[in-house]
Structure 1
Amino acid sequence: MKTHIELNKANLLHNLKVFKEITRRKIMFVVKANAYGHGLNEIIEIIKDLPLVDYYAVDSISEAMLIKSRQQQKPILILGWSDRAELTEIIANGFETVVPSNDQFKLSKEIAKKINRKAFIHLKLETGTQRLGLEPEKVTRLLRNFPDPQLELRGIYSHFANIEDTTDPTFAQQQLAIYNQVLKHVPAGRILRHFSSSASSLLFPKTFFDMVRIGISAYGYWPSKQTHALYLEKSSKKIILKPVLSWVAKVAQIKQIKKGSAIGYGLSYRTYNNVKIIVVPVGYYDGYDRKLSNIAQILVHGVKAPIRGRICMDMFMVDVTHVKNVKIGDRVLILGEENGEKIHADVLAELAGTINYEILARINPLIPRIIV
C-alpha cells in the first residue's frame, strides 16, 4: 500500500477510560464523520465488545446501519437531520433519532403510526448554538404530549456553542441555565439528560448529567488550546490524551535537485542549495490540505523533513537532504510519532488555519485502515 492509516487500539481504550474516570457517567461515543476520519468500521471493531461505551452517536442512517451490522447490543442515536425516507428507515430499524423541530416531531409520530413501530426520540433543545433545535417554550409544550402511543422519549439534550474556543465560560453557563430550567418540565421516567461534550467533560462537572458525549478527545486530542489551558488551571490531576491515528505513506521516488531549481506547480519553491527530495504519493484528494504547501513537515526515519512546493492532487515533495539512508519504499509518517518526534493534527491545523477536527475528518475514507 502506498498509504494507509494505523489505528492504535490501546490509545483509544486509554482515552475512553480517562473520560470514564473523570465523569463516572455513561459514555456516548461520537463516531460520526467516519469516526472523525479514523474509519468507522475499524473503530467499532475495536470497541464493540467492551463496556467502556454505552451509546453510539452518528450523523446519518448509513452510519447507523454500518454499526448495526457490527454490533446490536448498544443503542445508536442519529444526531443529524433526516428526511421522510431516512426517518422511516430509522424508526423501522429501532434507532434513536433527534427531534429538532415541531415538524420533525409530527413526522416521527406520523411515520411510527403508519408502520406500526414506536419511534425512539431525543428532543434537541436550542440553548444558543442556533443550529438544529427547539426553542425552550416549544420543548416545554411538547413534553406535555408524553406518554405517547407512537413516541418514546429516550432523551433530552443540547449542545454548547462556546465551550472550547474560550477560557470564559459565561455563555456556556447561560446555555446550561436554560437547559436546567427546561429539565424541570421533563416527566418522570428513564429519560437520559445529556449536554456535555469533550471540552465540558474535561472542565465542568455540572454538565455531566446522565451521560457525556465524547468525540474529538476519544481520538486523543484536546478540543482546543483554550480547553487545555483551562483544564491545567482548574485541575491538579494531570491527564494525557493519546492520538489514535497515524498516517503512513511510502517514498515513491528520490531526486537530486540542483541549486536554483523550482519544485512543483507554480514554481512556488526554489532551492537555495543542491538538495535531495522525495516524492510522497499522497495529496489533497487524500485529504492532505493544499494549504500545507511549503510550510508543513513529515517524519522520515523519525526526522522532521519539510514539504517543498505545492501539495498536488495525489502527491507532494519533501526535502530529505539532512536525512540519511533514505530508500524508495521507506515508510514515512504524515501524522504520528516516531523516535520522540511528533506530527500531530493540532500542528497541521494551525498551519492550515483550521481545527484538528477538520484535519482528521477530511482524511479520505478510501485509504485503508489497519488496527495496531
Structure 2
Amino acid sequence: MLLRDTVIKVDLDDIAYNMDLIRKMAGSAAVMPVIKANGYGHGAVPIAATLMKHGASYLAVATLTEALELREAWPDYPLFILGHTPDRLLPLAAENRIVSTIFSIEQGRILSDLACKTGRSVKAHLKVDTGFHRLGATDLRQMAAVCRLPGLDVEGIFSHLALAGSEENEKQYRQFCAVIQGLEKEGITFRYHHLADSISAVDDPKYRMDMIRPGALVFGLRGFHKGFLPVRQALTFETRISQIHRIRKGEGVGYDYLWTAPADTRIGTLPFGYADGYPRSMRGKGYVTIRGVKCPVVGVICMDQCMVDLAGVPEAREGDRAVIYGNGRNNTMSIAEAAELAGTNKNEIVSRLAARPPRVYIAGGSAHSIPSSVSAFRT
C-alpha cells in the first residue's frame, strides 16, 4: 500500500526496450550498465533484474556501499565499482567478489596479498588517466607491475573521456590505445577494454571497443552530440493536490510572500518539495501538469510542499493528479526540460531524487510498489 500521494513511477518495459537498443548498438561489445546513485534515482535493486535479463554483462556502481546493496540482492552477478575504494576496504570488496577499480601499485598489492592468503584470484580493472585528471594511473611501468602481481587478475583496463570536443576525445582515445599497446609489448593483455559512456558510445562506434558503460541511456535520457538512439524516458514523478485556496489579487503565497497574486485566483498545495529532490531553483520557472494544463509553481518551494497557480484549470479539484516530471507529451515537463530550467544536467535531476517518494514499478501493464524483499524482481 502506498503511504504517500507523491510517487516515482518507473516503467521496466521502457528500460528493457532501452537495453535491447543498446545491446543491438553495441554489437559484439559487452554492455555494463551504470546504476550508481540508486540507479540514477530509479532504484538500483529493482531495475537490476531487467538489465540482467536484457543482456548486462556486468552492473557498475560508484561506491562499495552501492555494490554491497546489489550483492545482497544478487549473490552471484558480476559487479564493478567505477570509483575509488579506500585501501582498508579493498579486502571487503574482494571477499564479496566485487571487482574494484585500481590505479596504484599499493592497491594492487593489497588485493594480491589477499589472493595469496586465500588461494583465490581477485579481479580488478586498471584505470588509466588519459587527461580527465580525476582517477587513474599514468606510469606505464607501474601499470605493468600491477598487472604482474601474483593472484591479481586485472581483467580490464579503462579510462573516461572528458567530452571536451571531438579533437580532445580523439586525443584521449589515442593515448588510451598507446597505453594498451605498451602493455601488450610487455606481454600483458586484458579481457575488457572500455572507454565509452552513454554519449561517446552513441556518437562514435570506435570508442565502444569491447565494452561500453551506458548510464543515462539505460533510463532513456538522451544527451548525444552527434548520434541518435530512440530510447524512452522510463521515469514519471507525480503527486496529487492536497488543498485548494481561493486568494485575492495582491495576496501573497509562501515564505516571505515572494509571489503575490496578479488577480483573483485559486492556489493548489502539492505535497512535494526540495526534500524529495525537486530543485529549489525551480521557483518562478517550474510547473506541473494537471488535467493536461501547465500550472506554474508559485512562491518559494518548501522542503515538503509547494504551491501552484490553478488559474488555467478552473475545474481542478483536491485529489487531482499532478505530473511533476513526465515524458514531455501532453504538456508534461520532461527530465530534459527540468534540467534546462534548473540550470543543470539530466543526470543531476534524476540522481537527486530522494528515497522518500515511494517507487512504483510497471511491467507488462501491471504496477508494483517497491517490496520489502527484492524477490519480486528476481528472474
CA contact (8 A) 1:307 1:318 kept: yes
- Give CA deviations for 1:209-245 in whole Å, capped at 9, x if unaligned: 111000011111113xxx24x22xxxxxx63221111
Counterpart code for 2:152: L
Equivalent residues of 1:42, 1:369 under 8 A apart: no
Alignment match, 2:14: 11
3-state SS of paired residue (1:195) = strand
Paired residues of 2:105 and 2:145 also in contact (CA < 8 A): no
TM superposition shift of 1:251: 0.9
Match of 1:178 in 2: 175
Q: Which residue of 1 aligns with 2:276?
A: 286
User: CA shift at 1:85, angstroms?
Assistant: 3.6
Question: TM-score of the superposition, structure 1-length normalised?
Answer: 0.90
Shift of 1:60: 1.7
- Which amino acid letter does the alignment assign opposite residue 267 of structure 1? Y
Partner-residue secondary structure (3-state), 2:360: strand
Q: Aligned partners of 2:49 and 2:239: how far apart in 1?
A: 23
Please list every run of 5 or more consecutive structure 1 residues that lacks an aligned counterpart in the other structure: 232-237
Q: In the alignment, residue 282 of structure 1 is paired with which amino acid?
A: F
Assess if the C-alpha contact under 8 Å between 2:202 and 2:229 holds in 1.
no
Q: Distance in 1 between matches of 2:229 and 2:158?
A: 27
CA spacing shift, 1:126–1:337, aligned 2, 3 Å = closer
Cα offset, 1:189, TM superposition: 5.0
1:46 is matched with which residue?
50
Cα RMSD for the two superposed structures: 1.9
Flag the 1:291–1:297 CA change in 2: closer, same or farther, 3 A.
same
1:96–1:215 distance in 2 versus 1, CA, 3 Å:
same
Confirm or deny that 1:34 pairs with 2:35. no
Residue 210 (str. 1) matches residue 207 (str. 2):
no
Contact 1:336 1:342 in 2 (8 A): yes
Alignment check: 8 A CA contact 2:104 2:146 kept? no
SS at match of 1:128: coil
Whole-Å separation in 1 of the counterparts to 2:83 and 2:219? 21
* 1:318–1:162 CA distance, 2 compared to 1 (3 A): same
**1:321 — aligned with what?**
311
Question: 1:52: how far off?
Answer: 1.9
Identity of aligned residues (%): 29
* TM-score scaled by length of structure 2: 0.88
Judge conservation of contact 1:99–1:105 (CA < 8 Å) in 2: yes
Distance in 2 (alpha carbons) for counterparts of 1:339 and 1:64: 35
Q: Note if 1:107 corresponds to 2:115.
A: no
The superposition leaves residues 315-349 of structure 1 with CA deviations (integer Å, 9 ceiling, x where unpaired) of: 10001121143222222111114862231121111
Selected match of 2:325 from 335, 344, 369: 335
Structure 2 gaps, min length 5 = 363-379
Task: Map 1:245-284 onto structure 2 (within 5 A).
Answer: 245-284=235-274
3-state SS of paired residue (2:307): strand
**Conserved in 2, the CA contact under 8 Å of 1:278 and 1:320?**
yes
Question: After superposition, what is the alpha-carbon deviation per residue over 1:226-267, rounded to whole angstroms, capped at 9, x for unaligned?
Answer: x24x22xxxxxx632211111111111111111111111121
- Write the distance in 2 (CA, Å) between the matches of 1:275 and 1:340: 24
Q: Deviation at 1:102?
A: 3.1
Conserved? CA contact 1:269–1:309, under 8 Å: yes
Deviations 1:285-343 (A, max 9, x none): 11111100121111112221100011101110001121143222222111114862231
SS of 2:213's equivalent?
Answer: strand
**Paired residue for 2:231, among 215, 224, 241?**
241
Deviation at 1:20, TM superposition (A): 1.5
CA contact (8 A) 1:42 1:370 kept: no
**Structure 2 residue 70 is matched with structure 1 residue 67:** yes
Asked if the contact 1:92–1:115 (Cα under 8 Å) also holds between the matched residues in 2, the reply is no
User: In 2, distance between residues paired with 1:365 and 1:140?
Assistant: 45
Supply the AA of the counterpart residue of 2:18: N
Report the more deviating stretch, 182-191 or 294-303: 182-191
- Residues 308 and 318 in structure 1, CA contact (< 8 A), matched pair in contact too: yes
Equivalent position amino acid for 2:218 in 1: A
2:152 corresponds to = 151
1:349-364 correspondence to structure 2 within 5 Å: 349-364=339-354
3-state secondary structure, aligned to 2:312: coil
- Whether the aligned pair in 2 keeps the contact of 1:300 and 1:323 (CA below 8 Å) is yes
Q: Using the TM superposition, name which of 252-261 and 143-152 deviates more.
A: 143-152
SS at match of 2:326: strand
Where 1:29 maps in the other structure, the secondary structure is coil
Q: Indicate how the Cα distance of structure 1 residues 349 and 189 shifts in structure 2: closer, same or farther if over 3 A, else same.
A: same
Q: Which amino acid aligns with 2:306?
A: F
Deviation of residue 201 (structure 1)? 0.8
Measured after TM superposition, the shift of residue 104 of structure 1 is 2.2
Q: Letter of the aligned partner of 1:99 in structure 2?
A: I
More off after superposition, 20-29 vs 336-345: 336-345
Distance 1:276 1:343, change over 3 A: same
* Worse-matched range after superposition: 12-21 or 87-96: 12-21
Aligned residues of 2:274 and 2:304 also touching (Cα < 8 A): yes
Q: Shift in Å at residue 188 of structure 1? A: 5.4
Separation in structure 2 between the aligned mates of residue 208 and residue 339 of structure 1, nearest angstrom: 32
In the TM superposition, residue 56 of structure 1 has moved relative to its aligned partner by 0.5
Note the alpha carbon deviations across 1:175-208, whole angstroms, 9 max, x for none: 0010010111244555210111101111111111
Cα offset, 1:352, TM superposition: 1.4
Whole-angstrom distance in 1 between the partners of 2:120 and 2:347: 37
Q: How does 1:18-29 map to 2 (within 5 A)?
A: 18-24=21-27, 25-29=29-33
Equivalent residue for 2:96? 93
Partners of 2:314 and 2:298 in 1: how far apart? 18
Q: How many aligned residue pairs are there? A: 355
State the AA in 1 paired with 2:36. Answer: K
Q: Is the 8 A contact 1:92 1:117 kept in 2?
A: no
